[in-house]
Each structure stands twice: as C-alpha cells, then as structure tokens.
Structure 1
Amino acid sequence: MEKVFIRWTWMRAVLHNGWWLVTSVYLVVDAGLSPAQLVLIGSVQSAFALVCEVPAGVIADTISRKWSLVISQVLMGTAMLATGLFESFPALLATQVLWGISWTFASGSDVALITDELDQPDRINVVLTRSARAQLTGAATGLIVLGGLAWATRRDLTIVIAGAAMMSLALYVALQFTEHNFVPTRTARWAASWTTFRRGVTLVRRSRAILLIFAATFLVNGASDAAGRLTPKQLLDLGLPTEPDPILWFTGLGVIGLIVGALVLRLVSKRINGSHASTDYALAALVGVLAMLLLAFARDPVVGAIAVVLLSGIVTPLTRIISTIWINTRTTADIRATTHSFLAQLEYLGEIICGLTIATVARLTTLPLALTTCALLFATTAVLMRQPTSDEATV
C-alpha cells in the first residue's frame, strides 16, 4: 500500500501542478484577468471549500476514505478540463469553485487512509515525508511535460488533456487502493457523523499545540496563496521576456523551486519529526518574509525569480509537511480525516480573509504593496511559532 500511495501522490502531482502552471499563465495572458480578479478567484474558491471541508472529512471518517478520494478525482478532473473551455471571468470562477470543492474530498482522507492502512505509528512520518518529496518530484515532472506540451501546442488544449487524465486517475484509486483497517458506520450514520464532528472539535479545543498550528496555517496559507496568484503578473510587469512563450520561463522556475524543495525536505526530515518542528516552521516563515520583500521591490525579473524559488522551494513545502505531521501525531484513527479537514478549513479561511485583504490592497494601491502585505503575514507567523507548544490533549 505504501508504494501504491506514493505512486498515486506522484501522478496526481504531475497532473495538478502541470495543469496549474499552464492555467496560471492562461488566466493572465489568454483570459486577461486583473490582479484583483486573480486573488478573488482564490478567495471565492476557498469560501465554497470551507463550507464543504468538514462534511467531506466526516463522510470519510464514517463511510469511506478510499471512495472519498475517487469522488475527489472525478470532480477535480472535471473542473480542470472545464477551465480550458472558457475565458470569461464568471465561467472561470465557477470552474475553480468546483476544483476547490473537489479537493475537500481528498484533504485529510489521503493522510488518514495511509496512516490506518500502514498501521505503523513509528513509520508513518517517514512515509508522509516521502510522499511530500514525491509530490515535489511529480510536480517538477508535470511542469516539464505539460509546460512543454502547452508550448508545443496550445494552453487551452493542454488544460483539457490534464483534466481528462486526472479524471482517469480515479480508476487507479478504485482498483489499487485498499481499505482493510477501516470500519465504516453501517447504521445511524448521521448520528455517528455528528459524534465524529464533536470529538474532533473537542480534541482541537483542548490542544494548544493544534490551535497554534491552526493559526499559523491561516496566516501562511493566506499569504502563500495570494502571492502565488500574483507572481505571474509581477514577473511579467518586471520584464520577464515574452519571447519565447512565458510558459517556458514559468516552467523553468517551477522546476528549480521543486528541486530545491525536494532537497530541503531530505535535509530536514529528521528535524521535522523531532522537537525542532516549531523552530523550522518559524524559520520557513522568515524566508517567506524575505521572498515577498524581494519580489515586491525587485527591479528586474532575475531578483523576482529568486524570490519565487525561495517561496516554492523552502516556505511552501516545509510549512505544509510540518503542519500535516503536527496534526497527524496529535489525533486518533477515528477522527483523523475530520481533524485534517479542520486544518484544511483554516487554510481556506486564510485564503478568504487574507486573500480578500490582499486583493483590496492590490486594487486600491499597487502590486508591490500587496506583496508587502504578504510579507507582514509571514512575519506574524514567525513570531507566533516561537511560542511554547508543549501539551498533550486527549479526546
């Protein structure tokens, strides 16, 4: 199951990240969306995902983690495919909302499934770190393959192909994944779902460490998501060459960032599993401050590109894997997907509140000032994560 799970993680990363690379350029160059519209898409997408996240997690904990992933793949592929069929803002907003909803059926379900099926508490953190590295190498492959395909053919065609491939990945999950160590609720599912939800809330409320990582996730994800959506616009404004096709430049930047990320995860894998997690999270947030200030006040695309690599190669992978392991080690099997869904809700909430704030700054002032706002969010996170975190919550 471990190899099957990591292989699936890699394939999903190939399609998702390659698709997003092409889509991020498509939204700016082909659809001509403004900076405010780019961030607004993320905020609205997150609002819908926020509403669906916990119900999806509870369903995974009471009915099936495996079939939650199948549903996720089908909906995600549909949303990805439809993106390449439209250029109007309302239609693109709708496709991204569907993508956000699709992700709620996977967030938490994947970690919960592999944790329970592996059934080796002393090994799961290693597997999750390997999975994170697989995501990075898969993402690099996706950037090269789909970025190259978009350059050789058309961006909209590549987006449609990626979506169709993502839909077909549902068959891999259905045929290859097992679910031997999970017992679904056969009767009174609504009552069981409510009980699962309440147990998850109780766990979170009693654990200062979980509340701390929730707050950090809110800030970091809000800053990272907004920065990621504004990056293509900023680099093009700084003079990133438009010949050859900008997709090639973004592909190269993405691959470099992912390679750096894979190396960083390998170097810090032992520290992540120990008592240095909060320190590493704070350091990653400080790198985020540096990256945002460099990108905001860069005078040429080279400096801007360095900032992008810092964000995608250090900040994003480190904060993501630390928060996943942090939550996974502080929950129990019966509410694992639900608790991870709570974490995902804080991610979406950060995208909504911080994203709307940054979108307003971008609309009323300038793009550099919006990126500076992202730097302030990272700085707040760094201060927050230096607080004591020792507690042992029970359900």
Structure 2
Amino acid sequence: MSRSNPPTPTGPDAFPEHPHPGPRVLARRFLVWNFLRAVLHNGWWLVTSLYMAVDAGLSPAQLLLIAAAQGVASILFEVPAGVVADTLGRKKAIVASHVLMATAMAVTGLFPSFVPLMLAQMLWGISWTFTSGSDVAWATDEIDRPDRIHLLIAAQARWQMIGAGAGIVAFGVLAAIVDRPTAIVCAGVLMLLLGTWFTAAFPEKNFVRVRKDHLKAALGIARRGARLAVTDRTILMLVVVTVLVNGAADTFGRIYPVHLADLGLPPGASGMAGFTAINLAVYATAALALAAVQRRLDSDGGARTFLALSCLAGLVSLVLLGLASSLPVAVAAVIATNGIAMPLVRTVTTIWVNRRTDSDIRATTHSFLAQAEYAGEILCAAALAALAGTFGPGGTMLLAATLFAAGAGTVALNRSRAKSPSEGVSPSG
C-alpha cells in the first residue's frame, strides 16, 4: 500500500513507493546519476584546466579562443538539441550527450595540441546542450508528480554541488597518483559507462514520440517554445533575469581569483590549497542553502520571493567583494555569491519554468533558458570586460553587482503584474 503522508518530504523520499521502478526508485536513480555525473565532469575540468595550460602549453590567447569557440558551439546547438529531445525522446538525447561528452573528454587527454583541444572543447559544449532541460523533462514526465517535482529539482542541484566537491578531490588525487592525461581519459571512459547505466536503468514510458514528419514536428515545437518564452510574462521575466545574472556570474567567475590574489591569497601550493578550500566551502554552502529553501518553492509566490532574495544576496555580496580591503571579507563574499546567490537563482528559474511549461515542449523551453545563460555570458560579460581595465577588479565587481540589482528589479516588476488574469494559468490554459 502507498503512504499518503511520507515522513520525509525531500529528495527521493518526497515520492511514495510504487511497484518497481516507481517514482521513489526513479527519483533515487536520478539523484545518483546527477551526483556521479557531477563528480566526473567537475573532476575532469579541474585536471583539464591545468592540463591545457601546463602540459599542452597553450597561451592565454589560445585558452580564450577555445572558450569563445565552445560558447559559440553551445549557443548554436542549445535550442536544436532541446527540440530533438522533445521530438525523438529525452532519454535518447541524454544518452547522446554521454557519448559526445565521453568522446570529448577522452580526446582532450589523448591529443595535447591546440586544434584537437579546441574541437574537443566545442564537442564538450555541444554535449551539454543535449542534456540541458532533457534531464528535468525526463524526470517530470516519468516520475509524474507535478506537486512534488520542485523538491526533486532542488535535490538535484544539491547533489550536483556535493558531487562537484567530491569530484575535484577525487580527480585531484588521481592526477597526482598517475598523471593528468591518464586521469582525463579515465574520466571520459567512466562518463561513457555512466551513460550505459542510464540506458539500462532509466525507462521512458510517458513520453509521446513523434512517429512521422519529424522535421515538421520539430519546427512546430521550436515555434511553440519560442512563442511561450516571449508571450508568457513570467517566463519572459525569468529569461531576462537569467541573462542579467549569468552576465554578472561569468564576470565574477573570471575576475574574483585576481581580486583575491590582490588582497593576499598566496601564490604556489598554499594558494592552490586555499583556493580549493574556498570552492569546497562554496559547494557545502550551496547544498545547505538549497536544502533550506526547497520546501518553499512549490508556488509562484515562493519562487518569486526566493528569486528576488537570491538576486539581492548577489548584489550585497558583490558590493562587499568590490569594496573589500581584507582577504577574509572577500572570501566570505565569494562563498555567498557562488554558494547562495547563483545556485538559488538557477534552481528557482528551472523549477518555475518547468511548472509553467507543457510536457511536449518542456525540453525546448528549458533550452531557451539555457540559451539565455549563454547570451548573458557573451553580452553582459563582454561589456563588463571592456570596462575591467579602467575600473580594476574591485570596480568591475561593483559594476557586476548592478546586474544583480537589475535582476531584482525585474522580479519586482513582474510581481506588480502578478494579479493579471494570465498569472497562474498554465501555458495550455
């Protein structure tokens, strides 16, 4: 017999037990998969970032060119990948993501020269587009508990943070024991094995596949997703906030290590150890923050409140970071920005978009949100980068804080329209 009032309404326990596989089993598998994927890709990136600079000997200009090429490839494939997921199946898209990602990861360790590394990074970026939105769409349809899916999405973000911390420790140790290329290739092989497990253990029974006229159906899905993104006031607000916040986050992510160094973060091994400790503190803080708020994200009102608070937290943190004259204050501001503001913004926007989207265009709509992230990184971060030389790291942080302020203002403007007839009505209604 199922239980009407489960004792622990969080994570996989938020879903009552049913015969195998059942919502509870699928939720647990989904969280385990997210944890392991975060272990592999964060551990791989830790080693790869050092590998490209040291072992491959790439110049700063080459590294920036690789980053730009990866961003362009991702933004071009994001929406088409979402449409593929909504047309052919979310599971197929996720499995394809694993194959592409594993290939890119292994090639990175096997060919330490500029052109292969740039192509591998572009392929790695493309691989993420096939799982962006597809994972949440799969979980929403297969677990089929719209009243509790917000708990699973929050738990997903939390376990991704825990996996990220575990990954940088595990692969840092592995690279020290063997070598960086071997650790990188091992991560790719394990990512392929993880995709094999996903293929075997994750069913897809509730997705309605398009049986014919795939191209016509795909174009129709793309049009409906785009129309929803610009006509639904709440989703449009979330797109705007995503552009602003990710522009601030990308600027922050590139500059705060320089600011910490200016304030006294030591170079060499001790500085690397301190930097790693800061990142572990960020992941732990994010996990705690997500656990604290997840029960209050089950309504538009709760989502709106915590989205506004997250933007304000980013505003205050970046102002403190920009004005900081001591290293401890700057470190606390970094942890607040990366451990509270950013993960909460991403989680709330994902939950809110998911709630307002119909099943047949769910992955596509999430892809538009992901594309907004890339747009923010390209447009806002590029504009702030042009000013960084004039204002310095601290001044640039203050400029980035204005983007968080604009995000909070956008949420407030949407709230003033919350009593309009369209608010709270499903996209199909």
- Considering the TM-score relative to the shorter chain, is it more than 0.5? yes
TM-score (norm 1): 0.90
**Aligned mates of 1:196, 1:110 — CA distance in 2:** 18
1:305-344, aligned counterparts within 5 Å?
Answer: 305-344=331-370
**Aligned mates of 2:88, 2:104 — CA distance in 1:** 24
Displacement of 1:23: 3.9
Amino acid at match of 1:350: G
Amino acid at match of 1:394: P
User: Does residue 345 in structure 1 map to residue 371 in structure 2?
Assistant: yes
Contact 1:27 1:33 in 2 (8 A): no
**Aligned mates of 2:265, 2:397 — CA distance in 1:** 18
Range moving further from structure 2, 213-222 or 134-143: 134-143
Displacement of 1:317: 1.3
User: For each residue in 1:182-237, what CA deviation from the matched residue of structure 2 results, as whole angstroms up to 9, or x when unmatched?
Assistant: 12212110011111112222322321000000000011112212322333344344
Contact 2:311 2:408 in 1 (8 A): yes
Compared CA separation, residues 323 and 309, structure 1 to 2 (3 A): same
SS at match of 1:120: coil
**Aligned mates of 2:405, 2:65 — CA distance in 1:** 23
Range moving further from structure 2, 120-129 or 232-241: 232-241
Structure 1 residues not aligned, in runs of 5+: none
**What's 2:211 paired with?**
186
Displacement of 1:356: 1.9
Compared CA separation, residues 231 and 149, structure 1 to 2 (3 A): farther
**What's 1:162 paired with?**
187
**Aligned mates of 1:80, 1:340 — CA distance in 2:** 25
Contact 1:33 1:89 in 2 (8 A): no
**Aligned mates of 2:198, 2:236 — CA distance in 1:** 33
Displacement of 1:352: 1.3
User: Does residue 221 in structure 1 map to residue 254 in structure 2?
Assistant: no
Contact 2:150 2:294 in 1 (8 A): no
User: Does residue 366 in structure 1 map to residue 366 in structure 2?
Assistant: no
User: Does residue 145 in structure 1 map to residue 176 in structure 2?
Assistant: no
User: Does residue 376 in structure 1 map to residue 402 in structure 2?
Assistant: yes
SS at match of 2:269: coil
Range moving further from structure 2, 182-191 or 18-27: 18-27
SS at match of 2:413: coil
**Aligned mates of 2:54, 2:258 — CA distance in 1:** 9
- Compute the RMSD of aligned alpha carbons: 2.6
TM-score (norm 2): 0.83
Range moving further from structure 2, 139-148 or 296-305: 296-305
Amino acid at match of 2:386: T
Compared CA separation, residues 219 and 87, structure 1 to 2 (3 A): farther
Q: Percent identity?
A: 44
User: Which of the numbers 198, 206, 230 marks the counterpart of 2:231?
Assistant: 206
Range moving further from structure 2, 7-16 or 266-275: 266-275
Displacement of 1:311: 1.8
**Aligned mates of 1:237, 1:153 — CA distance in 2:** 33
Range moving further from structure 2, 311-320 or 234-243: 234-243
**What's 1:102 paired with?**
127
User: Which of the numbers 248, 252, 256 marks the counterpart of 2:277?
Assistant: 252
**Aligned mates of 1:281, 1:128 — CA distance in 2:** 15
Range moving further from structure 2, 209-218 or 275-284: 275-284
Structure 1 or 2, whichever has the larger Rg, is 2
Compared CA separation, residues 126 and 337, structure 1 to 2 (3 A): same
Contact 1:43 1:355 in 2 (8 A): no
Contact 1:73 1:166 in 2 (8 A): yes
User: Does residue 355 in structure 1 map to residue 381 in structure 2?
Assistant: yes
**Aligned mates of 2:101, 2:271 — CA distance in 1:** 26
**Aligned mates of 1:153, 1:295 — CA distance in 2:** 38
**Aligned mates of 2:132, 2:244 — CA distance in 1:** 19
1:285-304, aligned counterparts within 5 Å?
Answer: 285-304=311-330
Amino acid at match of 1:312: N
User: Does residue 387 in structure 1 map to residue 418 in structure 2?
Assistant: no
User: For each residue in 1:254-311, what CA deviation from the matched residue of structure 2 results, as whole angstroms up to 9, or x when unmatched?
Assistant: 2111111111111111222231222211221222223333444444543332222112
**Aligned mates of 1:91, 1:364 — CA distance in 2:** 35
**Aligned mates of 1:365, 1:74 — CA distance in 2:** 44
1:36-75, aligned counterparts within 5 Å?
Answer: 41-75=66-100
Displacement of 1:175: 1.4
Displacement of 1:87: 6.6
Which one scores higher on RCO, CA 8 angstroms, separation ≥ 6?
1
**What's 1:273 paired with?**
298
Range moving further from structure 2, 66-75 or 94-103: 94-103
**What's 2:4 paired with?**
none
Structure 2 residues not aligned, in runs of 5+: 1-25
User: Which of the numbers 201, 204, 218 marks the counterpart of 1:176?
Assistant: 201
Contact 2:40 2:191 in 1 (8 A): yes
Contact 2:86 2:360 in 1 (8 A): yes
Range moving further from structure 2, 83-92 or 380-389: 83-92
Contact 1:18 1:147 in 2 (8 A): yes
**Aligned mates of 1:29, 1:363 — CA distance in 2:** 26
